[in-house]
Chain A
Amino acid sequence: MEKLIEILEDLQPGVDYENTENLIDGRILNSLTILSLVAEIEDEFDVEIPTVEIVPANFNSVKSMWALIERLKEEE
């Protein structure tokens, strides 16, 4: 989880990632940033995020992103 926050801090600093729950709906991360994020996550955690999973619900908070990563790992 810390690793994930680190990635986010690197991509877009100055956001309280731990407590924000509307990263997408609140327009904090735009679609191009999401692309970088997806690339980073795939690299770091060795998972593949399919297009279907790229929905606001999965990226609105660090928690939900983490849940997604865990889920994808299991499915592997």
Chain B
Amino acid sequence: MSYFDAIFAFLFIPILIVIYNIVPKKFRPYFLLAVSFGFFCVISKFLIAFLLLSILSIYLITNKFTKIDKERDEVLEKTDKDNRKEVKTLFSKKKKRWLVLGILFNVAMLFGFKYVNFFGSNLNYIFDLFKLDVHYNIIKYAAPIGISYYTLQAIAYLVDVYNGKFEAEKNICKVALFLSFFPQIMEGPIVRYNDTADQLFEGKSVSYNSFCFGYQRVLYGFFKKFVIADRLNIAVSMIFDSYTTFSGGILFLGAIFYTILLYMEFSGTMDVVIGIGEMFGVKIPENFKQPFFAKNISEFWTRWHISLGLWFKDMIFYPVSLSKPVKHLTLHARKIFGNKYGPILCGGIALFCVWFLNGLWHGAGWPFLFYGMYHFVMILSGNLLEPLIQWLCTKLHINRQNIVYRVLQSVKMALFVFIGEMFFRAPTVRQGFVMLKRIITNFSFSSFKDGGLAILGIDVYDLAVIIIGVLVIFVIGLLKERNINVREEISKKNIVFRWFIYYLLIFSIIMLGAYGPGYIPVDPIYADF
């Protein structure tokens, strides 16, 4: 099952909406919850038990927080001023213990499903190295769908309630729906409770307008996936599977193709997800914001998979960098390196944690860890070099707002992203390095001499469709970057123009979609994380 299943998008969703509108408003959230659980079971069957455990744990613990707060207030009323501080710390310690328990419980489930085998197999290497007669037996099992996504949401919910951002929810079904809403369960975005929960539970009927608007967004996602991503898939698998036979220039093309494919697949899925949310009157936060218009790689990551970046920032980066030991370290570092570099170096510790975990989150494997470390190095060095570059620019009288400078900056950023994604796609870190080496030492397109485009498994028509498709997406992105909302602009036009655009979109998917004989669709890449 995938969100790009025609049966899901054009049969299941409309039927669901009709029933949803018939159900009395009060019961609609419960209906959505039932559907979401059903959806989960279709994919992961009895593994839903783990989702339920997650829901139950965060529900109970957050309500425990409320209880502790209440008890504290009662005790505080009875104590005199001098002892108040003591009472406060006593209760906050108690609260913290529950928080840690909740986080550990949820992380343990995630860890158990995703990382035990990875660590096990690496332990085996170590055992072998020391010739120890111990062995970890690798067990094969499937993880519950979306565990990487809903676990992060669950943890954020615990932390947010703990911090008093909002009160603990008393209706367990509302928490459950927030965690398991079916369009989000497979690939996110990772939203916070205050982003969607209230809207989800409102039970607004699906109106004609929200239905049409939602479907437009869904179709836009279909376009990205079927017309561009699936068509690129042939060439990408060709290049990465038999990388030894291609010259460097083509391998580099493979890195670019894969980055585009990943963007189209993932952001296309988000279009479908957000579109479905829109139909039900739920504004799911955007997960992409024209990432390729970023100035540097650090900004790129605030525009690509936004929800994951925000989660890491709030849950890892600030808590780590503002924790007592790190703060202490910062104080020392500032004395030695000054106010500018001191905090950066200590922020580096937090940044390391973020990117280490980010790599690990994407999957248990060395390529992903390498990918995380690659970005850590890139972003940290970018920050360390910034003052130097600034100094150089003032000395050489370079205007950093200059269009040439901006373009060069973007090209540099894109280059880093392509290389990063190449390591992400390569099955082993070694293959990534072999490819990189060939790109640097043998940058030529000589392989094309052997058979033209055919060596990539595509023909000139495929290439034309890819180029036109990417251009369309690029122009729409450019307009968005200039704060022109394309959808609103279209909706202002007359009906003939509007319908022309819609039919153009629909029939370009039907006619130019890379499905049917000869094409293998991309698997939902981010559903595996």
Taking a contact as CB atoms under 8 Å apart, the answer to whether B299 and A35 are in contact is: no
Q: Interface digits, A8-40 against B, CB 8 Å rule (1 contact, 0 not)?
A: 001100000000000000010011100110111
* B330 to A, closest residue via Cβ: A39
Interface of A is mostly: helix
**Distance, CA A35 to CA B339, complexed state (A):** 10
Select the residue from A11, A27, A30, A35 with max chain B CB neighbours within 10 A: A35
Taking a contact as CB atoms under 8 Å apart, the answer to whether A39 and B343 are in contact is: yes
In the complex, chain B residues whose CB is within 8 Å of the CB of A51: 163, 318-319, 322
Rounded to whole Å, the gap between the CB of A42 and the closest CB of chain B is 8
Taking a contact as CB atoms under 8 Å apart, the answer to whether B340 and A35 are in contact is: no
B:154-191 near A, CB below 8 Å: 163-165
**Distance, CA A39 to CA B341, complexed state (A):** 12
Say if the beta carbon of B298 comes within 8 Å of chain A. Answer: yes
Interface residues on A, range: 10 to 19
Rounded to whole Å, the gap between the CB of A74 and the closest CB of chain B is 17
Rounded to whole Å, the gap between the CB of B317 and the closest CB of chain A is 6
Segment among B208-216, B222-230, B344-352 that sits at the interface with chain A? B344-352
Say if the beta carbon of A67 comes within 8 Å of chain B. Answer: no
Taking a contact as CB atoms under 8 Å apart, the answer to whether B344 and A52 are in contact is: no
In the complex, chain A residues whose CB is within 8 Å of the CB of B318: 31, 51, 54
Taking a contact as CB atoms under 8 Å apart, the answer to whether B339 and A10 are in contact is: yes
Rounded to whole Å, the gap between the CB of B76 and the closest CB of chain A is 16
In the complex, chain B residues whose CB is within 8 Å of the CB of A27: 299, 302
Taking a contact as CB atoms under 8 Å apart, the answer to whether B322 and A38 are in contact is: yes
**Distance, CA A73 to CA B322, complexed state (A):** 18
Taking a contact as CB atoms under 8 Å apart, the answer to whether A32 and B383 are in contact is: yes
Rounded to whole Å, the gap between the CB of B510 and the closest CB of chain A is 40
In the complex, chain A residues whose CB is within 8 Å of the CB of B164: 52
In the complex, chain A residues whose CB is within 8 Å of the CB of B322: 35, 38, 49-51, 54
Interface size on B, residues (CB 8 A): 26
In the complex, chain B residues whose CB is within 8 Å of the CB of A30: 298-299, 383
**Distance, CA A27 to CA B295, complexed state (A):** 11
Taking a contact as CB atoms under 8 Å apart, the answer to whether A36 and B339 are in contact is: yes
Rounded to whole Å, the gap between the CB of B484 and the closest CB of chain A is 19
Taking a contact as CB atoms under 8 Å apart, the answer to whether A36 and B302 are in contact is: no
In the complex, chain A residues whose CB is within 8 Å of the CB of B124: none
Say if the beta carbon of B321 comes within 8 Å of chain A. Answer: yes
* A42 to B, closest residue via Cβ: B327
**Distance, CA A40 to CA B330, complexed state (A):** 11
In the complex, chain B residues whose CB is within 8 Å of the CB of A36: 339-340, 342-344, 347
**Distance, CA A42 to CA B155, complexed state (A):** 28
Rounded to whole Å, the gap between the CB of B337 and the closest CB of chain A is 11
Chain A interfacial positions (CB closer than 8 Å to B):
10-11, 27, 30-32, 35-36, 38-40, 49-52, 54
Q: Which 7 A-B pairs have the closest CB atoms?
A: A36-B343, A52-B163, A35-B347, A32-B347, A35-B343, A51-B318, A54-B318
